[in-house]
A and B are shown apart, each in its own frame.
Chain A
Amino acid sequence: MNGHIDIRTLSDYFLNRLSREEETAVQEHLSGCPECRDRLEAMRRLRTGFFEDGAQDLSRGPVFFRILRSGWIKAAAAVIVVAGIGVLTYDTLRNRTNITDEHLIREGHGPKDGEVFAIDTFDAEDSLYYKEKYGDDFLKSDSF
Protein backbone atom coordinates (compact mmCIF):
# COMPACT_ATOMS: atom_id res chain seq x y z
CA MET A 1 0.00 0.00 0.00
CA ASN A 2 1.62 3.25 -1.16
CA GLY A 3 1.03 6.71 0.35
CA HIS A 4 -1.72 6.84 2.94
CA ILE A 5 -4.92 4.93 3.40
CA ASP A 6 -7.85 6.87 1.95
CA ILE A 7 -10.47 7.95 4.46
CA ARG A 8 -13.11 5.66 2.98
CA THR A 9 -10.99 2.55 3.45
CA LEU A 10 -9.96 3.71 6.91
CA SER A 11 -13.64 4.26 7.77
CA ASP A 12 -14.49 0.78 6.46
CA TYR A 13 -11.67 -0.63 8.59
CA PHE A 14 -13.03 1.24 11.60
CA LEU A 15 -16.53 -0.12 10.88
CA ASN A 16 -15.27 -3.73 10.42
CA ARG A 17 -16.43 -3.74 6.84
CA LEU A 18 -13.25 -5.02 5.20
CA SER A 19 -12.49 -8.62 4.36
CA ARG A 20 -9.82 -10.41 6.45
CA GLU A 21 -7.29 -9.93 3.63
CA GLU A 22 -8.04 -6.21 3.22
CA GLU A 23 -7.95 -5.81 6.97
CA THR A 24 -4.49 -7.40 7.14
CA ALA A 25 -3.25 -5.09 4.36
CA VAL A 26 -4.49 -2.05 6.31
CA GLN A 27 -2.87 -3.33 9.51
CA GLU A 28 0.42 -3.82 7.70
CA HIS A 29 0.26 -0.24 6.47
CA LEU A 30 -0.69 1.06 9.93
CA SER A 31 2.32 -0.74 11.32
CA GLY A 32 4.65 1.61 9.45
CA CYS A 33 2.54 4.76 9.11
CA PRO A 34 2.04 6.83 12.26
CA GLU A 35 -0.06 9.36 10.36
CA CYS A 36 -2.74 6.83 9.37
CA ARG A 37 -2.56 5.29 12.83
CA ASP A 38 -3.22 8.72 14.33
CA ARG A 39 -6.28 9.20 12.14
CA LEU A 40 -7.63 5.82 13.16
CA GLU A 41 -6.87 6.52 16.81
CA ALA A 42 -8.67 9.87 16.49
CA MET A 43 -11.84 8.05 15.45
CA ARG A 44 -11.47 5.58 18.29
CA ARG A 45 -10.87 8.34 20.85
CA LEU A 46 -13.87 10.22 19.54
CA ARG A 47 -16.02 7.11 19.92
CA THR A 48 -14.76 6.51 23.45
CA GLY A 49 -15.33 10.14 24.45
CA PHE A 50 -18.70 10.32 22.82
CA PHE A 51 -20.24 7.05 23.89
CA GLU A 52 -18.34 5.72 26.85
CA ASP A 53 -18.79 8.95 28.82
CA GLY A 54 -22.46 8.70 27.95
CA ALA A 55 -22.48 5.06 28.99
CA GLN A 56 -21.25 6.13 32.41
CA ASP A 57 -24.17 8.53 32.60
CA LEU A 58 -26.52 5.76 31.54
CA SER A 59 -25.02 3.32 34.04
CA ARG A 60 -25.84 5.66 36.89
CA GLY A 61 -29.04 3.73 37.39
CA PRO A 62 -32.68 4.64 37.51
CA VAL A 63 -33.75 8.20 38.31
CA PHE A 64 -35.18 7.12 41.68
CA PHE A 65 -31.79 5.94 42.96
CA ARG A 66 -30.03 9.01 41.60
CA ILE A 67 -32.52 11.22 43.44
CA LEU A 68 -31.94 9.19 46.59
CA ARG A 69 -28.21 9.80 46.36
CA SER A 70 -28.51 13.49 45.56
CA GLY A 71 -28.75 16.42 48.01
CA TRP A 72 -32.33 17.01 46.90
CA ILE A 73 -33.50 14.17 49.09
CA LYS A 74 -32.76 16.22 52.20
CA ALA A 75 -34.67 19.19 50.86
CA ALA A 76 -37.59 16.92 49.87
CA ALA A 77 -37.64 15.35 53.35
CA ALA A 78 -37.74 18.81 54.93
CA VAL A 79 -40.68 19.82 52.72
CA ILE A 80 -42.58 16.63 53.64
CA VAL A 81 -42.02 17.21 57.37
CA VAL A 82 -43.17 20.83 57.15
CA ALA A 83 -46.20 19.84 55.05
CA GLY A 84 -47.06 17.10 57.56
CA ILE A 85 -46.97 19.52 60.47
CA GLY A 86 -49.14 21.92 58.48
CA VAL A 87 -51.79 19.28 57.79
CA LEU A 88 -51.91 18.18 61.43
CA THR A 89 -52.25 21.75 62.62
CA TYR A 90 -55.03 22.47 60.13
CA ASP A 91 -56.91 19.31 61.12
CA THR A 92 -56.68 20.13 64.81
CA LEU A 93 -57.98 23.65 64.23
CA ARG A 94 -60.83 22.37 62.09
CA ASN A 95 -61.89 19.83 64.73
CA ARG A 96 -61.81 22.58 67.30
CA THR A 97 -64.19 24.65 65.13
CA ASN A 98 -66.56 21.66 64.84
CA ILE A 99 -66.58 21.21 68.61
CA THR A 100 -67.36 24.89 69.06
CA ASP A 101 -70.23 24.57 66.58
CA GLU A 102 -71.58 21.56 68.50
CA HIS A 103 -71.58 23.57 71.71
CA LEU A 104 -73.43 26.35 69.98
CA ILE A 105 -76.10 23.90 68.81
CA ARG A 106 -76.51 22.33 72.24
CA GLU A 107 -76.85 25.73 73.82
CA GLY A 108 -79.67 26.62 71.44
CA HIS A 109 -77.67 28.81 69.13
CA GLY A 110 -78.33 26.46 66.19
CA PRO A 111 -79.56 27.44 62.76
CA LYS A 112 -82.71 29.40 62.51
CA ASP A 113 -85.83 28.14 60.67
CA GLY A 114 -85.26 27.70 56.96
CA GLU A 115 -81.46 27.54 57.39
CA VAL A 116 -79.84 24.40 56.07
CA PHE A 117 -77.75 22.72 58.71
CA ALA A 118 -74.95 20.31 57.99
CA ILE A 119 -76.43 19.21 54.69
CA ASP A 120 -73.00 18.17 53.51
CA THR A 121 -72.77 15.58 56.26
CA PHE A 122 -75.78 13.61 54.98
CA ASP A 123 -74.12 10.45 53.77
CA ALA A 124 -74.90 6.80 53.12
CA GLU A 125 -74.98 5.98 56.82
CA ASP A 126 -77.60 8.67 57.46
CA SER A 127 -79.55 7.42 54.53
CA LEU A 128 -79.75 3.91 56.04
CA TYR A 129 -80.76 5.34 59.41
CA TYR A 130 -83.62 7.32 57.89
CA LYS A 131 -84.64 4.38 55.73
CA GLU A 132 -84.97 2.15 58.81
CA LYS A 133 -86.85 4.84 60.68
CA TYR A 134 -89.24 6.09 58.00
CA GLY A 135 -89.24 3.34 55.35
CA ASP A 136 -88.45 3.71 51.65
CA ASP A 137 -90.59 6.79 51.20
CA PHE A 138 -88.67 8.91 53.61
CA LEU A 139 -87.32 11.13 50.88
CA LYS A 140 -90.78 12.10 49.57
CA SER A 141 -91.75 15.51 50.74
CA ASP A 142 -95.20 14.37 52.11
CA SER A 143 -93.61 11.74 54.34
CA PHE A 144 -92.18 14.51 56.57
Chain B
Amino acid sequence: MTRSIEKDAVELLTKEDERYRLVRLGLIHDVGEEAATLARQFPPRDGEQFSEWKKRCLREYYRQKGFSVFCRDNVRNPEFETMTAALLRAHLYRIFQASCRTWTDRYLAPDSDTMSYALEPDLFQELYTSYFSQMPAFGNTSELDRYCRRMADDNFPVQESRIMDGMKNNKNFYWEKFYLKLKPITAAFCYRLSGISGDNNIHDIWSDTCISVNQAVVGRRLKEPVDAKAVISYSVGVLKNKNKEISRNRAKTPADIDLIHYKLSVEDEEKYFNNPVTKPENFPSQAGGLANYIDFSDKDSVQGYFIVILYNKEHPLHDELVKGYEDKVRRMFRHYIDGLSYEEIVAGESGSMSGKEQTKECARLRQEIKRLKKSLYDRYLKMIEKYR
Protein backbone atom coordinates (compact mmCIF):
# COMPACT_ATOMS: atom_id res chain seq x y z
CA MET B 1 0.00 0.00 0.00
CA THR B 2 1.51 3.33 -1.06
CA ARG B 3 1.53 6.11 1.49
CA SER B 4 0.03 9.44 0.74
CA ILE B 5 2.06 12.18 2.38
CA GLU B 6 -0.85 14.61 2.10
CA LYS B 7 -3.21 12.20 3.89
CA ASP B 8 -0.59 11.46 6.54
CA ALA B 9 -0.07 15.17 7.10
CA VAL B 10 -3.84 15.72 7.37
CA GLU B 11 -4.05 12.95 9.97
CA LEU B 12 -1.11 14.34 11.95
CA LEU B 13 -2.53 17.82 12.12
CA THR B 14 -6.11 16.65 12.69
CA LYS B 15 -4.94 14.70 15.71
CA GLU B 16 -2.78 17.60 16.89
CA ASP B 17 -5.84 19.85 16.61
CA GLU B 18 -8.07 17.36 18.44
CA ARG B 19 -5.56 16.95 21.22
CA TYR B 20 -4.29 20.53 21.56
CA ARG B 21 -7.33 22.45 20.24
CA LEU B 22 -5.18 24.44 17.84
CA VAL B 23 -8.03 25.87 15.74
CA ARG B 24 -10.07 26.94 18.73
CA LEU B 25 -7.03 28.52 20.35
CA GLY B 26 -6.28 30.33 17.10
CA LEU B 27 -2.88 28.88 16.24
CA ILE B 28 -4.21 27.60 12.91
CA HIS B 29 -7.34 28.39 10.91
CA ASP B 30 -7.74 25.49 8.52
CA VAL B 31 -6.30 22.03 9.14
CA GLY B 32 -6.51 21.03 5.46
CA GLU B 33 -4.56 24.06 4.22
CA GLU B 34 -1.96 23.74 6.97
CA ALA B 35 -1.53 20.03 6.25
CA ALA B 36 -0.94 20.74 2.55
CA THR B 37 1.77 23.25 3.50
CA LEU B 38 3.31 20.80 5.97
CA ALA B 39 3.39 17.98 3.39
CA ARG B 40 4.96 20.30 0.82
CA GLN B 41 7.60 21.73 3.15
CA PHE B 42 8.60 18.62 5.04
CA PRO B 43 8.30 15.49 2.88
CA PRO B 44 9.84 12.30 4.35
CA ARG B 45 13.50 11.78 3.55
CA ASP B 46 14.71 8.59 1.92
CA GLY B 47 14.59 5.73 4.40
CA GLU B 48 13.11 7.92 7.13
CA GLN B 49 10.81 6.05 9.52
CA PHE B 50 7.26 7.34 10.04
CA SER B 51 7.94 8.20 13.68
CA GLU B 52 11.12 10.11 12.76
CA TRP B 53 9.32 12.00 10.01
CA LYS B 54 6.47 12.89 12.37
CA LYS B 55 8.86 14.15 15.02
CA ARG B 56 10.90 16.20 12.54
CA CYS B 57 8.07 17.78 10.62
CA LEU B 58 6.01 18.68 13.70
CA ARG B 59 9.07 20.13 15.41
CA GLU B 60 9.81 22.33 12.39
CA TYR B 61 6.17 23.20 11.86
CA TYR B 62 5.64 24.40 15.45
CA ARG B 63 8.93 26.32 15.37
CA GLN B 64 7.68 28.19 12.30
CA LYS B 65 4.35 28.83 13.97
CA GLY B 66 5.99 30.30 17.08
CA PHE B 67 4.44 27.78 19.45
CA SER B 68 6.44 29.02 22.42
CA VAL B 69 5.12 32.59 22.19
CA PHE B 70 1.66 31.25 21.46
CA CYS B 71 1.67 29.27 24.74
CA ARG B 72 2.84 32.28 26.71
CA ASP B 73 0.10 34.44 25.18
CA ASN B 74 -2.58 31.88 25.95
CA VAL B 75 -1.61 30.90 29.46
CA ARG B 76 -4.61 32.81 30.84
CA ASN B 77 -6.98 31.56 28.14
CA PRO B 78 -9.56 29.21 29.75
CA GLU B 79 -9.49 27.00 26.63
CA PHE B 80 -5.72 26.54 27.02
CA GLU B 81 -6.28 25.68 30.68
CA THR B 82 -8.95 23.11 29.76
CA MET B 83 -6.62 21.59 27.17
CA THR B 84 -3.82 21.34 29.75
CA ALA B 85 -6.20 19.69 32.23
CA ALA B 86 -7.17 17.16 29.56
CA LEU B 87 -3.49 16.33 28.89
CA LEU B 88 -2.83 15.96 32.60
CA ARG B 89 -5.87 13.73 33.06
CA ALA B 90 -4.77 11.47 30.22
CA HIS B 91 -1.36 11.05 31.88
CA LEU B 92 -2.96 10.41 35.26
CA TYR B 93 -5.20 7.76 33.76
CA ARG B 94 -2.20 5.93 32.32
CA ILE B 95 -0.24 6.22 35.59
CA PHE B 96 -3.28 4.96 37.54
CA GLN B 97 -3.63 1.95 35.22
CA ALA B 98 0.03 1.06 35.62
CA SER B 99 0.33 1.57 39.38
CA CYS B 100 -0.60 -0.46 42.46
CA ARG B 101 -3.85 0.51 44.11
CA THR B 102 -3.19 2.91 46.99
CA TRP B 103 -4.68 2.20 50.41
CA THR B 104 -6.71 5.39 50.16
CA ASP B 105 -8.28 4.11 46.94
CA ARG B 106 -8.88 0.67 48.42
CA TYR B 107 -10.84 2.22 51.30
CA LEU B 108 -12.53 5.15 49.59
CA ALA B 109 -12.71 4.88 45.81
CA PRO B 110 -15.04 2.68 43.74
CA ASP B 111 -13.39 -0.43 42.33
CA SER B 112 -12.48 0.91 38.91
CA ASP B 113 -11.96 4.48 40.02
CA THR B 114 -9.37 6.46 41.91
CA MET B 115 -9.09 9.38 44.30
CA SER B 116 -5.32 9.24 44.53
CA TYR B 117 -4.84 9.87 40.80
CA ALA B 118 -7.88 12.07 40.26
CA LEU B 119 -7.57 15.68 39.21
CA GLU B 120 -9.72 17.55 41.70
CA PRO B 121 -10.53 21.04 40.30
CA ASP B 122 -8.92 23.04 43.16
CA LEU B 123 -5.83 20.87 42.99
CA PHE B 124 -5.59 21.51 39.26
CA GLN B 125 -5.82 25.26 39.83
CA GLU B 126 -2.98 25.10 42.34
CA LEU B 127 -0.81 23.04 40.02
CA TYR B 128 -1.62 25.16 36.98
CA THR B 129 -0.73 28.37 38.82
CA SER B 130 2.46 26.94 40.17
CA TYR B 131 3.66 25.21 36.97
CA PHE B 132 2.42 27.61 34.31
CA SER B 133 3.12 30.96 35.95
CA GLN B 134 6.79 30.39 35.18
CA MET B 135 6.58 27.86 32.40
CA PRO B 136 9.52 27.03 30.19
CA ALA B 137 9.46 27.86 26.46
CA PHE B 138 7.73 24.95 24.72
CA GLY B 139 9.09 24.43 21.22
CA ASN B 140 6.26 22.11 20.26
CA THR B 141 3.29 20.14 21.60
CA SER B 142 5.48 17.19 22.45
CA GLU B 143 7.40 19.31 24.97
CA LEU B 144 4.16 20.64 26.46
CA ASP B 145 2.96 17.06 26.79
CA ARG B 146 6.16 16.00 28.56
CA TYR B 147 5.80 18.96 30.95
CA CYS B 148 2.29 17.77 31.86
CA ARG B 149 3.63 14.26 32.37
CA ARG B 150 6.19 15.69 34.79
CA MET B 151 3.43 17.52 36.66
CA ALA B 152 1.60 14.22 37.03
CA ASP B 153 4.69 12.33 38.17
CA ASP B 154 5.67 15.00 40.72
CA ASN B 155 2.29 15.49 42.35
CA PHE B 156 0.46 12.17 42.27
CA PRO B 157 -0.75 10.05 44.00
CA VAL B 158 -2.42 12.72 46.09
CA GLN B 159 -1.62 12.39 49.79
CA GLU B 160 -4.28 10.78 51.96
CA SER B 161 -4.33 13.81 54.30
CA ARG B 162 -5.21 16.09 51.40
CA ILE B 163 -8.07 13.82 50.31
CA MET B 164 -9.31 13.68 53.91
CA ASP B 165 -9.20 17.47 54.12
CA GLY B 166 -11.24 17.60 50.91
CA MET B 167 -13.83 15.29 52.43
CA LYS B 168 -13.91 17.26 55.68
CA ASN B 169 -14.47 20.41 53.64
CA ASN B 170 -17.39 18.62 51.94
CA LYS B 171 -15.90 18.57 48.44
CA ASN B 172 -18.40 16.83 46.20
CA PHE B 173 -15.61 15.60 43.94
CA TYR B 174 -14.45 13.17 46.64
CA TRP B 175 -17.80 12.46 48.25
CA GLU B 176 -19.43 11.39 44.99
CA LYS B 177 -16.74 8.78 44.52
CA PHE B 178 -17.06 7.59 48.10
CA TYR B 179 -20.84 7.26 47.82
CA LEU B 180 -20.34 4.99 44.82
CA LYS B 181 -17.85 2.95 46.82
CA LEU B 182 -20.45 2.52 49.57
CA LYS B 183 -23.11 1.14 47.24
CA PRO B 184 -21.79 -2.41 46.73
CA ILE B 185 -20.69 -2.50 50.38
CA THR B 186 -24.24 -1.61 51.44
CA ALA B 187 -25.54 -4.30 49.12
CA ALA B 188 -23.18 -6.88 50.54
CA PHE B 189 -24.08 -6.09 54.16
CA CYS B 190 -27.81 -5.91 53.54
CA TYR B 191 -27.79 -9.21 51.71
CA ARG B 192 -25.66 -11.00 54.31
CA LEU B 193 -27.38 -9.57 57.37
CA SER B 194 -30.95 -8.90 56.37
CA GLY B 195 -31.44 -10.85 53.16
CA ILE B 196 -32.26 -7.67 51.25
CA SER B 197 -31.05 -7.57 47.66
CA GLY B 198 -31.51 -5.44 44.59
CA ASP B 199 -30.44 -1.91 43.78
CA ASN B 200 -33.90 -0.45 44.50
CA ASN B 201 -34.33 -2.20 47.85
CA ILE B 202 -31.02 -1.07 49.29
CA HIS B 203 -31.31 2.47 47.99
CA ASP B 204 -32.79 4.01 51.15
CA ILE B 205 -30.27 2.31 53.44
CA TRP B 206 -27.44 3.38 51.15
CA SER B 207 -28.55 7.02 50.98
CA ASP B 208 -29.13 7.19 54.77
CA THR B 209 -25.65 5.77 55.33
CA CYS B 210 -24.14 8.30 52.91
CA ILE B 211 -25.83 11.16 54.76
CA SER B 212 -24.75 9.86 58.18
CA VAL B 213 -21.12 9.40 57.16
CA ASN B 214 -21.02 12.79 55.45
CA GLN B 215 -22.44 14.53 58.51
CA ALA B 216 -19.98 12.78 60.80
CA VAL B 217 -16.93 13.66 58.70
CA VAL B 218 -17.94 17.18 57.72
CA GLY B 219 -19.14 17.91 61.26
CA ARG B 220 -15.73 16.71 62.58
CA ARG B 221 -17.43 14.12 64.80
CA LEU B 222 -14.90 11.35 64.12
CA LYS B 223 -11.93 10.96 66.41
CA GLU B 224 -8.80 12.64 65.03
CA PRO B 225 -6.70 11.82 63.15
CA VAL B 226 -9.36 10.87 60.60
CA ASP B 227 -7.95 8.71 57.84
CA ALA B 228 -9.47 6.66 55.02
CA LYS B 229 -9.74 3.57 57.20
CA ALA B 230 -11.60 5.50 59.90
CA VAL B 231 -14.14 6.68 57.34
CA ILE B 232 -14.84 3.23 55.91
CA SER B 233 -14.98 1.73 59.43
CA TYR B 234 -17.50 4.33 60.53
CA SER B 235 -19.56 3.64 57.39
CA VAL B 236 -19.60 -0.08 58.11
CA GLY B 237 -20.68 0.67 61.70
CA VAL B 238 -23.59 2.72 60.38
CA LEU B 239 -24.53 -0.11 58.01
CA LYS B 240 -24.46 -2.64 60.82
CA ASN B 241 -26.73 -0.47 62.96
CA LYS B 242 -29.18 -0.04 60.12
CA ASN B 243 -29.30 -3.80 59.64
CA LYS B 244 -29.78 -4.33 63.37
CA GLU B 245 -32.73 -1.98 63.16
CA ILE B 246 -34.21 -3.96 60.30
CA SER B 247 -33.76 -7.19 62.27
CA ARG B 248 -35.36 -5.63 65.35
CA ASN B 249 -38.31 -4.55 63.28
CA ARG B 250 -38.65 -8.11 62.09
CA ALA B 251 -38.52 -9.27 65.74
CA LYS B 252 -35.45 -11.40 65.18
CA THR B 253 -32.38 -11.41 67.37
CA PRO B 254 -29.48 -9.89 65.50
CA ALA B 255 -27.10 -12.51 66.76
CA ASP B 256 -24.16 -12.46 64.40
CA ILE B 257 -24.07 -8.87 63.21
CA ASP B 258 -21.38 -7.71 65.61
CA LEU B 259 -19.19 -10.61 64.64
CA ILE B 260 -18.96 -9.46 61.05
CA HIS B 261 -16.17 -7.07 60.23
CA TYR B 262 -15.47 -5.36 57.00
CA LYS B 263 -11.90 -6.19 56.15
CA LEU B 264 -10.30 -5.63 52.82
CA SER B 265 -8.75 -9.06 52.79
CA VAL B 266 -9.01 -11.48 49.89
CA GLU B 267 -11.30 -13.79 51.87
CA ASP B 268 -13.70 -10.99 52.72
CA GLU B 269 -13.69 -9.74 49.17
CA GLU B 270 -14.69 -13.27 48.16
CA LYS B 271 -17.32 -13.60 50.88
CA TYR B 272 -18.99 -10.28 50.29
CA PHE B 273 -18.50 -9.56 46.65
CA ASN B 274 -17.97 -12.79 44.80
CA ASN B 275 -21.59 -13.64 44.95
CA PRO B 276 -24.09 -13.33 42.11
CA VAL B 277 -26.34 -10.93 43.98
CA THR B 278 -23.79 -8.54 45.37
CA LYS B 279 -20.85 -8.50 43.01
CA PRO B 280 -20.01 -4.95 42.02
CA GLU B 281 -20.58 -5.37 38.30
CA ASN B 282 -24.27 -5.96 39.02
CA PHE B 283 -24.48 -2.39 40.14
CA PRO B 284 -24.70 0.01 37.24
CA SER B 285 -22.71 2.59 39.14
CA GLN B 286 -19.72 0.27 39.09
CA ALA B 287 -19.95 -0.88 35.50
CA GLY B 288 -17.29 0.45 33.25
CA GLY B 289 -16.03 3.15 35.59
CA LEU B 290 -17.04 5.98 33.26
CA ALA B 291 -15.37 8.52 35.50
CA ASN B 292 -12.06 7.18 34.22
CA TYR B 293 -13.03 7.77 30.63
CA ILE B 294 -15.04 10.93 30.75
CA ASP B 295 -13.99 14.24 32.12
CA PHE B 296 -17.43 15.54 33.04
CA SER B 297 -16.22 19.12 33.16
CA ASP B 298 -14.96 19.01 29.56
CA LYS B 299 -17.60 19.17 26.83
CA ASP B 300 -15.24 17.62 24.24
CA SER B 301 -14.69 14.61 26.44
CA VAL B 302 -18.41 14.08 27.12
CA GLN B 303 -19.31 14.42 23.42
CA GLY B 304 -16.39 12.25 22.27
CA TYR B 305 -17.40 9.37 24.50
CA PHE B 306 -20.97 9.65 23.24
CA ILE B 307 -19.74 9.15 19.67
CA VAL B 308 -17.66 6.14 20.75
CA ILE B 309 -20.69 4.47 22.36
CA LEU B 310 -22.95 5.31 19.44
CA TYR B 311 -20.55 4.14 16.74
CA ASN B 312 -19.10 1.07 18.42
CA LYS B 313 -21.76 -1.65 18.37
CA GLU B 314 -19.62 -3.80 20.67
CA HIS B 315 -19.50 -1.18 23.41
CA PRO B 316 -21.27 -2.45 26.56
CA LEU B 317 -23.49 0.65 26.61
CA HIS B 318 -24.32 0.76 22.87
CA ASP B 319 -27.49 -1.34 23.04
CA GLU B 320 -28.84 0.63 25.97
CA LEU B 321 -28.17 3.88 24.13
CA VAL B 322 -29.89 3.00 20.86
CA LYS B 323 -32.65 0.70 22.20
CA GLY B 324 -35.91 1.44 20.38
CA TYR B 325 -34.17 3.73 17.87
CA GLU B 326 -32.21 1.10 15.89
CA ASP B 327 -33.77 1.84 12.47
CA LYS B 328 -33.57 5.57 12.95
CA VAL B 329 -29.92 5.33 14.00
CA ARG B 330 -29.19 3.30 10.86
CA ARG B 331 -30.74 6.04 8.72
CA MET B 332 -28.85 8.71 10.61
CA PHE B 333 -25.57 6.84 10.01
CA ARG B 334 -26.35 6.73 6.28
CA HIS B 335 -26.75 10.49 6.32
CA TYR B 336 -23.81 11.47 8.52
CA ILE B 337 -21.31 8.67 7.92
CA ASP B 338 -22.06 7.50 4.36
CA GLY B 339 -22.76 11.08 3.33
CA LEU B 340 -26.09 10.28 1.63
CA SER B 341 -28.53 13.15 1.18
CA TYR B 342 -32.07 12.93 2.56
CA GLU B 343 -33.33 12.46 -1.04
CA GLU B 344 -30.97 9.53 -1.61
CA ILE B 345 -31.98 7.84 1.65
CA VAL B 346 -35.69 8.28 0.88
CA ALA B 347 -35.23 7.03 -2.68
CA GLY B 348 -33.27 4.01 -1.44
CA GLU B 349 -35.93 3.06 1.09
CA SER B 350 -39.20 3.95 -0.66
CA GLY B 351 -38.33 3.69 -4.37
CA SER B 352 -39.52 6.27 -6.89
CA MET B 353 -41.94 8.90 -5.61
CA SER B 354 -43.64 11.92 -7.06
CA GLY B 355 -41.85 15.23 -6.43
CA LYS B 356 -44.29 16.43 -3.79
CA GLU B 357 -44.32 13.14 -1.91
CA GLN B 358 -40.55 12.95 -1.95
CA THR B 359 -40.21 16.49 -0.61
CA LYS B 360 -42.63 15.63 2.18
CA GLU B 361 -40.79 12.42 2.99
CA CYS B 362 -37.41 14.20 3.04
CA ALA B 363 -38.78 16.85 5.41
CA ARG B 364 -40.08 14.05 7.63
CA LEU B 365 -36.68 12.33 7.62
CA ARG B 366 -34.89 15.58 8.44
CA GLN B 367 -37.22 16.12 11.39
CA GLU B 368 -36.75 12.51 12.47
CA ILE B 369 -32.96 12.86 12.57
CA LYS B 370 -33.20 16.16 14.40
CA ARG B 371 -35.45 14.64 17.08
CA LEU B 372 -33.35 11.48 17.23
CA LYS B 373 -30.21 13.49 17.97
CA LYS B 374 -31.90 15.15 20.90
CA SER B 375 -33.43 11.93 22.23
CA LEU B 376 -30.15 10.01 22.00
CA TYR B 377 -28.09 12.72 23.64
CA ASP B 378 -30.61 13.19 26.45
CA ARG B 379 -30.59 9.45 27.03
CA TYR B 380 -26.78 9.43 27.01
CA LEU B 381 -26.61 12.21 29.60
CA LYS B 382 -28.95 10.23 31.86
CA MET B 383 -26.87 7.10 31.33
CA ILE B 384 -23.59 8.71 32.25
CA GLU B 385 -25.15 10.15 35.38
CA LYS B 386 -26.35 6.65 36.27
CA TYR B 387 -22.99 4.98 35.55
CA ARG B 388 -20.78 7.79 36.74
Chain A interfacial positions (CB closer than 8 Å to B): 7, 11, 13-17, 19-20, 23-24, 27-28, 30-34, 37, 42-51, 53-54
Contacts and interface: CB of A to CB of B under 8 A. Distances in A.
Contacts of B377: 50
A139 B145 CA distance: 87
A51 B377 CA distance: 10
A7 to B, nearest CB: 5
Nearest to A23: B15
Which 10 A-B pairs give the minimum distances between C-beta atoms? A49-B336, A28-B50, A32-B1, A11-B308, A42-B337, A16-B19, A47-B307, A15-B304, A24-B51, A31-B8
A20 B337 contact: no
Interface of B: 1, 3-4, 7-8, 11-12, 14-15, 18-19, 50-51, 54, 86, 90, 93-94, 142, 145, 293, 301, 303-308, 310-312, 314-315, 332-333, 335-337, 339, 373, 377
Contacts, number: 84
Contact of B307 (A7, A14, A27): A14
A70 to B, nearest CB: 18
Given A7-B314, A42-B311, A46-B311, A31 B304 contact: no
Contact of B336 (A7, A33, A50): A50
Contact of A45 (B7, B54, B94, B336): B336
Contact of B94 (A14, A19, A31, A46): A19
A143 B1 CA distance: 113
A13 B145 CA distance: 16
Nearest to B50: A28
B380 to A, nearest CB: 11
A50 B18 contact: no
Nearest to B306: A50
A17 B93 contact: yes
B332 to A, nearest CB: 8
Given A32-B1, A50-B377, 10 more contacts: A11-B315, A16-B304, A17-B90, A19-B94, A27-B8, A31-B11, A45-B339, A47-B303, A50-B310, A51-B303
A16 to B, nearest CB: 5
B253 to A, nearest CB: 52
Contacts of A27: 8, 11-12, 15, 50, 54
Given A24-B50, A27-B12, A46 B307 contact: yes
Nearest to A16: B19
Contacts of A14: 304, 307-308
Contact of B337 (A7, A15, A46, A54): A46
Nearest to A27: B11
B54 A43 contact: no
Given A7-B312, A14-B308, A19-B94, A45 B337 contact: yes
B327 to A, nearest CB: 17
11 contacts: A7-B312, A20-B142, A27-B8, A43-B307, A43-B308, A44-B14, A46-B337, A47-B304, A50-B310, A50-B336, A50-B377
Nearest to A34: B1
A19 to B, nearest CB: 6
A47 B308 CA distance: 9
Nearest to B299: A51
A50 B307 contact: yes
Contacts of A28: 50-51
A31 B53 CA distance: 13
Contacts of B305: 15
Contacts of B304: 14-16, 47
A34 to B, nearest CB: 8
B1 A33 contact: yes
Contacts of A51: 303
Contacts of A50: 303, 306-307, 310, 336, 373, 377
Nearest to B3: A31
Contacts of A7: 312, 314
A67 to B, nearest CB: 20
A32 B305 CA distance: 26
Contacts of B50: 24, 27-28, 31
A48 B336 CA distance: 8
Contact of B145 (A20, A34, A37, A53): A20
Contacts of B337: 42, 45-46, 49
Nearest to A42: B337
A16 B83 CA distance: 11
A11 B313 CA distance: 12
Contacts of A13: 15
A15 B54 contact: no
